[in-house]
Amino acid sequence: MSRQIILIDCPDAVGLIHRITGVLEQRRLNIEANHEFVDASTKHFFFRAEVAPADGPVVAERVRTDLEAVLPAGARVRVTRDERRPIVVCATREPHCLGELLLLDAVGELPGRIVGVVSNHDLLRSLVERFGVPFTHVSHEGVARGDHEAMLAAAIDAYQPEYVVLARYMRILSPEFVARYAGRMINIHHSFLPAFAGASPYRQAFARGVKLIGATAHFVTAELDDGPIIAQDVTPVDHADTPERMAQAGRDVEKLVLARAVRLVLEERVFVHGRRTVVME
């Protein structure tokens, strides 16, 4: 019988763990792994558990309503199955982030399934099709932004993904498009945000003489490069590095950070809390 993942966030209160585990015991759910965290600044409680039924199938909706009954008002409870979730990857010209995700999927190391790749250029088709993944080209040339986004959304929705991953998809998306996939779209930005948001971050970094460059994976929101951060990493550079060499070094960081963020989200390890995230690894 498949494991289930229980996710709870709610105002903090005394005895929450006791209440939660009491419900799980009544429902004969064995806890195989769990994490909890209290944000002291906001007095908010977060809980993630992987559970397995001891006696037979359990109705997730009943577990959810039982938990809500013992938790403070405003509690958010989700009960999901531990399964590979479908994702669509959007890319433009650069293959490194897309290629990393395709490879991880191909060898079974991605806790999800890439069901399709959508691009506004046709350059990456051969790479994608080597992995047996469908590729859809939605050109933006000579097309109004609204019309292009309508075609892009139709191409994505045809695959019925749970998440959309922007693997260096170099188009600014409208607030309306972002709202369509609110909380379900992950982007990689080639900078250690909040530094050097927007275009040409490696040239910005070079101009400032930084000694570290990085990459940031975050949820997409209407404001450019400002969504809740999921994962980040850096690599050292020095005065001898040109913007081109910085970009080359940065590509290695970008693909690893994006892959890590996608894995964390697909494994239901990320809670969004305002502009921040709580990540339970």
How far apart, in whole angstroms, are the C-alpha atoms of residue 119 and residue 179?
A: 20
pLDDT at 13 over 70: yes
| Domain co-membership, 145 together with 27 | no
pLDDT tens for each residue of 186-214: 999 988 888 888 778 888 888 889 899 88
Q: What is the mean pLDDT of the chain?
A: 94
Range of the domain at 56: 4-81
Average pLDDT over residues 130-159: 97
pTM across the whole model: 0.93
pLDDT tens for each residue of 210-248: 899 889 999 999 998 899 999 999 999 988 888 888 888
The pLDDT assigned to 109 comes to: 96
List the catalytic residues.
225
More confident residue, 129 or 250: 129
Of 81, 98, 132, the domain-final residue: 81
Range from 19-23, 54-58, 133-137, 171-175 carrying the lowest mean pLDDT: 54-58
State the SS3 of 235-281. EECCCCCCHHHHHHHHHHHHHHHHHHHHHHHHCCCEEEECCEEEECC
pLDDT at 124 over 80: yes
| Domain co-membership, 90 together with 224 | yes
Of 38, 64, 81, the domain-final residue: 81
| Domain co-membership, 89 together with 77 | no
| Domain co-membership, 19 together with 92 | no
Question: In this structure, what token pair is assigned to residue 94?
Answer: 């650069």
| Domain co-membership, 53 together with 94 | no
| Domain co-membership, 65 together with 28 | yes
| Domain co-membership, 53 together with 112 | no
The pLDDT assigned to 198 comes to: 78
Structural domain total, the chain: 2
Of 64, 81, 98, the domain-final residue: 81
What is the CATH number for 46?
A: 3.30.70.260
Among residues of the chain, what percentage have pLDDT more than 70? 100
pLDDT tens for each residue of 60-92: 999 999 999 999 999 999 999 888 999 999 999
